[in-house]
Chains A and B, each alone.
Chain A
């Protein structure tokens, strides 16, 4: 947010009732998504991903305020106070993680970047990151994520999909893939290679789990 956009209206945080449990789940998921996207932004030097991380940081901040207000209202006595303490401490640790993801993203936004000779190593971590796009010969096009079952078949988790310049993060089973969609995902070395081949059209069926 730039300074001229700052006004009281946009900064005000109003209470509304929301279950602390739900907010905690949401900020945990967001913080992990942000970390994955931030490292992907560095690895692929992808400004869109980096900017998305910074936007998500604002969302986590907003949820954090809501969590504190709702937790505060739930406290009636010493017992409640002791019970709520670990929740607030965990939430604030998660908030810190989201701030650190944004720190990583800003390396890309400020055009500092990470030496590409070194950042390429991030693609060799246990959990690898991949960015690929769906070609017209891909079997993934016009399929819903739910029917593909990529998570349980090849062990990859789709983190973001970019379509016509717009980034989709909240992707559920009904999301239909289309030609030219750019997929950002994480998984193992074999999983991401399989995903890449499926997207480019080199692999024509989804490998089934061969566990034992």
Chain B
């Protein structure tokens, strides 16, 4: 059933988008970053249309699948959309208040999962590697959630994305993963890997 695959895709996309929005929202408020905050607002519109699409696709299935399971699906969809809205309300703070938030910075940086930014130096061992080659997440539990290159942001980059020196990387993961990533990224190319 083609419809089932479409709904699966929408459900996964809703879940992933609402979660990445939350990470980006925390980053935007910690760094007073308007570009990232704006992107969260854009994603909210995307989530809105995904949610509508989900409802329409679910209706198409109503005679083919048990109704209860479809109702549950609609409720999960509503929840993802509301999570996306909550993330948006955090990102909006970037425009509402321009003062730094020392308390929030400490609070968010002491969490189980943190978001950090790192600029790749010219000599970094990570430069000229694709995200797939690095397999950062498989190995140390760190995701690259966005990259800024020459004033342009690339959000949720593809595995084939090749990192370049001077890229600003936004990463998310547990603090141990972040620290492992930072020490890796600081390693200089041509150095023999241990």
Contact = CB atoms under 8 A, between A and B. Distances in A.
B139 A155 contact: yes
Contact of A104 (B79, B126, B143): B79
Interface string B79-115: 1101101110110010011010101101110111100
B108 A35 contact: no
Nearest to B91: A93
B55 interface: no
Question: Which label, helix, strand, loop or mixed, suits the secondary structure of the B interface?
Answer: helix
Question: Which label, helix, strand, loop or mixed, suits the secondary structure of the A interface?
Answer: helix
A28 B107 contact: yes
A96 B90 CA distance: 11
A96 B85 CA distance: 9
Interface in A83-118: 83, 85-87, 89-90, 93-94, 96-97, 99-101, 103-104, 106-107, 111-118
Interface in A25-45: 25, 28-29, 32-33, 35, 38-39, 42
A115 B76 CA distance: 11
Nearest to B68: A112
B136 A211 contact: yes
Interface string A168-205: 00000000000000000001101100000000000000
Contact of B76 (A29, A32, A42): A42
Contacts, number: 189
A115 B73 contact: yes
B134 to A, nearest CB: 6
A191 B139 CA distance: 8
A115 to B, nearest CB: 3
Contact of A94 (B15, B80, B86, B133): B86
Given A107-B76, A115-B66, A122-B11, 16 more contacts: A24-B107, A28-B111, A32-B112, A42-B72, A83-B103, A86-B93, A86-B96, A87-B103, A87-B104, A90-B29, A100-B83, A112-B71, A120-B8, A152-B140, A153-B139, A209-B139
Interface of B: 4, 7-9, 11-12, 15-16, 19, 22, 25, 29, 61, 65-66, 68-73, 75-76, 78-80, 82-83, 85-87, 89-90, 93, 96-97, 99, 101, 103-104, 106-108, 110-113, 125-126, 129, 133-143, 174, 176-177, 180, 184, 193
